[in-house]
Amino acid sequence: MRNRFVATAAGLVAAFLGFSGTAHAGKDLDAVKSRGTLNCGVGIGTAGFMLADSQGKWKGLSVDVCRAVSAAIFGDSEKVRYVPLTSQQRFTAVQSSEVDIVMGNATYTLTRDTALGLDFTGVYYYDGQGFLVPKKLGVKNAKELNGATVCVAPGTTTELNLADYFRANKMTFKPVVIEKVDEIRSAFFSGRCDVYTTDASSLAATRAANVPPPQTFDDYMILPEIISKEPLGPVVRHGDNQFADIVRWALYAMLEAEEYGITSKNVDEMLKSDNPAIKRILGVTPGMGKALGVDEKWVYNIVKQVGNYGESFDRNVGMGSPLKIPRGQNALWTQGGLQYAPPIR
């Protein structure tokens, strides 16, 4: 009798809350579907994360997250329009609906996630702020930068962290504040500033891809100090929970696929797996797509067309790329890293 009462009560609560196990589309998702494309805000250009090639095709780890969202919604990872934005434009662009999602290497912070009317839906890259210097400057660590001229972008956590770090260490610096990343790099490489500071991943990309000849990669070094936490995440507007859920779980799907060994090359074979978790993830056992409001093959489409997180990391920023950034904190939790996806079930 008690069990029957509990079951009946649970059913009444579910009915009261309107729970049906099926997601309901909101205004942002409806707009994306009716438009037929996902508008993805990206940075002006950072090798390995978001950069248009000579044919105008955008590539990178950040770009792949947008492609994964498109694959989940449309079954096609290429239904994306990329909108280059500066650090000062990116949040206004998503607030004003110019873009649906920002993947411009934005740091997840409390005030950004609350006061700006935005939602961060996860962390696709755990980063930290560093310093790039020419070797001829003769410094070996950041504590030797007292009095340095530092190139930095405005409207960023980088600018705030820089001031905090120098103040905490009783040092002074002269900021050279420039909005566009290509102009910051030009100023740094021309000697207008002694130091360039931003996320360490972007510094690695700058050193690997942007040093102007006759200077070379080996003329510059990234100092060993990491002075901040910079968790980089997708950014969407407050108000459409289903769209936020799709963005969140598209990234989680890439991580779950890597954890279960599902790759773009073996995903068709994995459809035959007897593993109950893999059957749920790939939609062989239905239900997850319905809960999210997308096709049951949503994860299959992401992995087949974009790859799992490890595949994307390796080809864009890891050992299969010119940047050769170690996985480090971005390894899976099973490999000593911080990347961890909730279960798809």
Looking at residue 25, what is its pLDDT? 67
First to last CA, the chain: 30
Contact 201, 48 (CB under 8 A): yes
Looking at residue 155, what is its pLDDT? 87
The structure's pTM equals: 0.90
Burial of 258 (0-12, 13-18, 19+ CB in 10 A): buried
Instruction: Write out the chain's pLDDT in tens, 345 residues.
Output: 444 444 444 444 444 444 445 666 689 999 999 999 999 999 998 999 999 999 999 999 999 999 999 999 999 999 999 999 999 999 999 999 999 999 988 999 999 999 999 999 999 999 999 999 999 999 999 999 999 999 999 989 999 999 999 999 999 999 999 999 999 999 999 999 999 999 999 999 999 999 999 999 999 999 999 999 999 999 999 999 999 999 999 999 999 999 999 999 999 999 999 999 999 999 999 999 999 999 999 999 999 999 999 999 999 999 999 999 999 999 999 999 999 999 999
In sequence order, the β-bridge partners of residue 101 are: 40
CA-CA-CA-CA torsion for 32, 97, 255, 111, nearest 10 degrees? -160
Looking at residue 26, what is its pLDDT? 85
Contact 262, 311 (CB under 8 A): no
